[in-house]
Chains A and B, each alone.
Chain A
Amino acid sequence: MADRRYTKTHEWVAVDGKHATIGITDFAQSQLGDVVFLELPSTGRKLAARESFGVVESVKAASDLYSPVAGRITAVNEKLAAKPELINSDPYGEGWILKLDLDGDLPPDLLDEAAYKKVAEESSH
């Protein structure tokens, strides 16, 4: 997954041409604890970069989800409705949240793996 990028708000985005898949990071899921519910948008909706598109609710807290990129939603992971714990068990795989058709260029402030690691380390103190 060389092309996976991250945000300071702990989302990830994997880009394949004009298509993007987004989710929350392993660090985010470990901080949230057991996820019990996600409030997610419908397909077709257009998102701006950094726009809040939903909520992830864990036993501990409710946290807003922000889109790392701009685009139109083409798919929402429907498995999460019945199995929100996929966010915990496989955050970069089966726990993906949305697929988007990208709109324009990627935001310049997306982080690579090394830069995100630093952000995560700082947030865990």
Chain B
Amino acid sequence: MVDFGGWEMPQQYTSIRDEHLAVRNVAGLFDVSHMGRFRVAGDSLEFLQHLVTNDLSQLGPGQAQYNLLLNEEGGIVDDLVVYHGEEGFFVVVNASNREKDLGWFREHAPSGLEVEDRTFELALIAFQGPRAQELLPAEGLDGLAYFGFRRGGVAGVRALISRTGYTGEDGFEVFVNSDRVVEVWDAILARGKDAGVLPAGLGARDATRLEAALRLWGNDMDETVNPYEAGLGWTVKLDKGDFIGRGALVKVKAEGPRRKLVGLKLEPGSIARHGAAVSSGGKKAGVITSGTHSFFLGYPIALAMVEAASLRVGDTVGVEVRGREAPAEVVKLPFYRGSAHSAAAPTRS
């Protein structure tokens, strides 16, 4: 068990390798109840549009959208998914930022508009993998579009089912009352057991999100990194009207970002760790933001924040590994494109 944003969570239930491969080949079940969940009731479209980068006016009831919260300098306060419900909006934010984000929302909310923290009453589990639809004990999943959600029953328990995730695979995130979540968890595992479904911990979550090149706040981006540097320019709709950080981003866009996130492939045994130096032609070119060994691909992969003009796909760079310089190849992102229906996916870079 490890501490993760104040929550005690398993790095693995059995083995990171087995859990990782289960997600890629069948399906894995993640407990992501640590993520923060807020409800923004009432007429809140205008308020939220002013806080996030993407255009929520495009979003109908039953649709979700990947978004960023920025500070005035254009730095990323957090990344989040905004859901347009029947009675207002709700958002899912990173666990480590829950209290900061709640303060941010409340500080900017017009008087009378309530932002309610629902994290503890509502559990959240993610069932992810190419066979997730077939193996989730729920009806009518066929008609649910990517980044769509609706009410329904999972294993006979009332739930909100959302076709979203953080692995690059097709799959569902299921919101269910905390007092019924154990029932639902057990039923999903029982149903999928013979097919090879496994409960999956933080290790498998980090490996699968990294293969899909999904950014992790705190590693690949933070309040000093802007969306263009993080390769998340596609979430920024400058023409939707004013929002916090817009002024700064207009300037960044005009000048071009000074840094960018790139993907690196390393030789077996050379795992690039967060914070390791990246060099090119003997000069420092950047730093590793995330790195792991990919059991699925069979080699180590990493994301690095590097000087924008310096590197192209196919280039070789040096990465500091165990005090020496290991060669790494700049590769296209994502490292792996899973079964997720990528029509509106946050996997582009």
Point out residues on A near B: beta carbons under 8 Å.
Answer: 33-34, 36-37, 39, 55, 57, 59-62, 85, 88
Contact present for A34 and B16 (CB under 8 Å): yes
User: Chain B contacts of A60 at CB under 8 A?
Assistant: 11, 203
A60 to B12, CA, bound (A): 11
Contact present for A36 and B293 (CB under 8 Å): yes
User: Chain A contacts of B15 at CB under 8 A?
Assistant: 34, 88
Interface class of chain B by DSSP: loop
A9 to B273, CA, bound (A): 22
Within 8 Å by CB of A62, from B11, B16, B295, B322, lies: B322
9 tightest Cβ-Cβ pairs between the two chains A and B: A37-B269, A36-B293, A34-B16, A34-B17, A59-B16, A62-B322, A59-B203, A57-B271, A34-B15
Q: A57-B271, A59-B207, A85-B17 are in contact. Are A39 and B322 (CB under 8 A)?
A: yes
A57 to B207, CA, bound (A): 16
A61 to B300, CA, bound (A): 13
What is the size, in residues, of chain B's interface with A at 8 Å between Cβ atoms? Answer: 16
A62 to B11, CA, bound (A): 16
Taking the nearest CB of chain A, how far is it from the CB of B131, in angstroms? 23
A120 to B273, CA, bound (A): 26
Point out residues on B near A: beta carbons under 8 Å.
Answer: 11-12, 15-17, 203, 207, 268-269, 271, 273, 292-293, 295, 300, 322
Contact present for A33 and B12 (CB under 8 Å): yes
Contact present for A59 and B322 (CB under 8 Å): no
Contact present for A39 and B269 (CB under 8 Å): yes
A88 to B292, CA, bound (A): 18
Contact present for A36 and B203 (CB under 8 Å): no
User: Chain B contacts of A57 at CB under 8 A?
Assistant: 269, 271, 293, 322
Contact present for B271 and A36 (CB under 8 Å): yes
Nearest chain B residue, comparing its CB with the CB of A61: B273
Q: A34-B15, A37-B293 are in contact. Are A55 and B268 (CB under 8 A)?
A: no
Q: A39-B322, A55-B322, A60-B11 are in contact. Are A34 and B268 (CB under 8 A)?
A: no
Q: Beyond A36-B269, A36-B300, A55-B322: 8 further Cβ-contacts under 8 Å?
A: A33-B16, A37-B271, A39-B269, A39-B322, A57-B269, A60-B11, A62-B271, A88-B15
User: Chain A contacts of B293 at CB under 8 A?
Assistant: 36-37, 57, 59
User: Chain A contacts of B292 at CB under 8 A?
Assistant: 59
Contact present for A34 and B295 (CB under 8 Å): yes
A57 to B322, CA, bound (A): 10
User: Chain B contacts of A85 at CB under 8 A?
Assistant: 17
Taking the nearest CB of chain B, how far is it from the CB of A65, in angstroms? 12
14 contacts between A and B (CB under 8 A): A33-B11, A33-B12, A33-B16, A34-B15, A34-B16, A34-B17, A34-B295, A37-B268, A37-B293, A39-B269, A39-B322, A57-B293, A59-B16, A60-B203
